[in-house]
Amino acid sequence: MRVMDDQAHAARTMWNCLHAWWQMMPKDKRTLAAADTQIRQARKDLDFLGKLPAQAAQAVLKTYFRAWLNCWEGRADEPAFKGRFRSVMSVDIPQGRDLQIQRVHRRWGMVNIPKVGRVRFRWTKDLPVGRKANADNRITGARLVKDALGWHIALRIQTLQATPAPHQGPEVGIDAGVNIPLALSNKDHQDHGRAPRLPDGTADRDKWLTPKEKAKLLRLEREAARRTSFREKGEKVSRRLRHTYDQIKQLRAKATRRALDWQHQTTTHLARRYGVIVVEQLTITNMVRSARGTIEEPGKNVKAKAGVNRSIAQEAWGRTVTMLTYKTARYGGALHKVPAPNTSRRCSACGFTVPGSREDQATFVCKNPDCGFECNADWNAARNILHLYRIGHVIVEVPAAGRRGRRAGKTVKPVAAR
C-alpha cells in the first residue's frame, strides 16, 4: 500500500500548491484553465506529483474550485492548507471505467486502482456491474480513504429512483441527550446500551469498547507514556512507540465505527417508522464550549464541564440530525426543527416554566402547585418539542447572506394552533 500512500500525499501537496497559487495570483487570472496549466507543468517538473494519476490530479482541481463555490454560496468556510497529520489521506478516481470491478466471491470483489493494479475489497452492497450496469444505473467513480484500520474504497453510483410516496407514519418529537441518546415523545426511546459515565461519575470516553479492549487501551496508553518520558526534546519517534500509537489509533477507529453503525441503524429505523420527525435547533459549538475562562476570571467546575462536553461530542448529535434529514426524505417523510429554549424546563403537562422543576438531571418534577407532573426529563423535553411543531413554531433554514459557512434560522409562528 506504499504506492497508495504516495498518491495520497501527492494529492494533499497538489491541493496546497493550488491554494498557494490562488493566493498569489490576481483575481482576474484565477481561472480553471490557468490552474490546469499550472498543474500539468508541476506534474512534469516534480516527480513526486507525477505519482498521482492525471485524472486524480484533475479531481483535486475540481474539488478545490468547488470548495470556493461552496464558500461563496454560504455553505462552507474558505478552503485552507491541508496539514500532513491533520488531514485525511484520500485519493479520488473520477472515471468509473478505470475501476473494472468484478465479483469473484460472495464476500469479495476485485477493483483496478490506477498505478496500483488489481486490489481485493469487501463486497457489502449490490453493485451495478456487468449486465446490471446501464446508462441510468452505473458506477461513476470511487474515492480511496485511509484511517487507522487501513485503506477503504467508497464507490459513487448513479441511479434513478422513483419519488417516494408521502409517509403515512405518525409524528414524533426527539430530544437528544446523554443519559438517553434519543428520547422520543411516545416513550420509544433509542438507547445504545453504553453507559455515558463510570461508577465514579466521570465521563466514559471509551464506552464503545469492550472491557478487554478498554484494558488493552489502558495498557497501550501507559506504555506510550512511559516510552515518551525517555525521549529527548526533538528526538525522532522510535519504531516501537510509533507501533504503539498505531495500535491506539486502531482501537479508537474501531470505537468510532461502532458508534457510526449504531447511528445508521437507529436513524434508518426512525425514518422508516415515522412520517414526521421533530428535533430542536441546537448550537452544539456553544454547548461544548470550555468553561476554563481566563486568568482574570477563571471558570468554575471546569473538570465536570469538560466531562459533559466530551459526552456530548461522543453522541454526535449533529451527525444524527444530518442522517435523519436525508433518510426521512428517502422514505417520504419530513424532518422539522423547532426552537430549543426552555424545552427541557417547561412542563409538558401544564405548559408552565417554573424555576426548580429541573433540579435533578434525570427527572423532571413540575413545581406548579396545580400540576405536580413528574416524569423522565428527556421524555418531557421530547413532548415539548413535538408540541412546538404542532402549534406551528417551526424553524425554516435559509442561506445567510454575507456569512460564510453559516445558515440563518427563521421561526415561522402560527396564525392559529393546529
Contact predicate 352/370, CB 8 Å: no
Please give the pLDDT value at position 81.
93
pLDDT digits (tens, 9 = 90+) for 299-329: 777 777 777 777 788 888 889 999 999 999 9
Query: Rounded CA gap, 380 and 360, in Å?
Result: 13
Run of H or E residues at 108: strand 108-113
Please give the pLDDT value at position 412.
52
The CB density around residue 107, as the number of other CB atoms within 10 Å, is 9
pLDDT digits (tens, 9 = 90+) for 220-235: 999 999 988 888 888 8
Query: Rounded CA gap, 134 and 78, in Å?
Result: 38
DSSP, residue by residue, 217-283 = HHHHHHHHHHHHHTPPTTPPPPHHHHHHHHHHHHHHHHHHHHHHHHHHHHHHHHHHH-SEEEEEE--
Please give the pLDDT value at position 275.
92
203 beta partners = 197
List C-alpha distances in Å: 22 to 51, 68, 87: 23, 11, 20
Four-CA torsion 111, 116, 122, 128, nearest 10 degrees: -20
Name the phi and psi angles at 94, rounded to 5.
-75, -20
Residue in this structure with the C-alpha cell 490576481, named with its chain if needed? 26
Architecture per CATH, 171-199+257-412? 2-Layer Sandwich (3.30)
Which set of grid coordinates corresponds to residue 54?
492525471
Run of H or E residues at 38: helix 32-45
Which set of grid coordinates corresponds to residue 385?
418539542
Q: Residues of the chain whose pLDDT is less than 70?
A: 200-203, 294-297, 397-418
Which part of the chain has CATH 3.30.420? Answer: 171-199+257-412
- Cα angle for residues 409, 320, 374 (degrees, 5° grid): 85
Which bin fits 301, alpha (ψ -120 to 50), beta or left (φ > 0)? Answer: left
Q: Is 146 exposed, middle or buried (0-12, 13-18, 19+ CB in 10 A)?
A: middle
Run of H or E residues at 172: strand 171-176
Contact predicate 374/364, CB 8 Å: yes
Residue in this structure with the C-alpha cell 424532518, named with its chain if needed? 335
210-219: list long-range contacts, CB under 8 Å, 24+ apart: 213/251, 213/254, 216/251, 217/248, 217/251
List C-alpha distances in Å: 110 to 100, 104, 107, 416: 8, 7, 11, 60
Please give the pLDDT value at position 225.
93
Query: Rounded CA gap, 312 and 309, in Å?
Result: 5
Which set of grid coordinates corresponds to residue 84?
500532513
Q: How far apart are the first and last CA of the chain?
A: 60
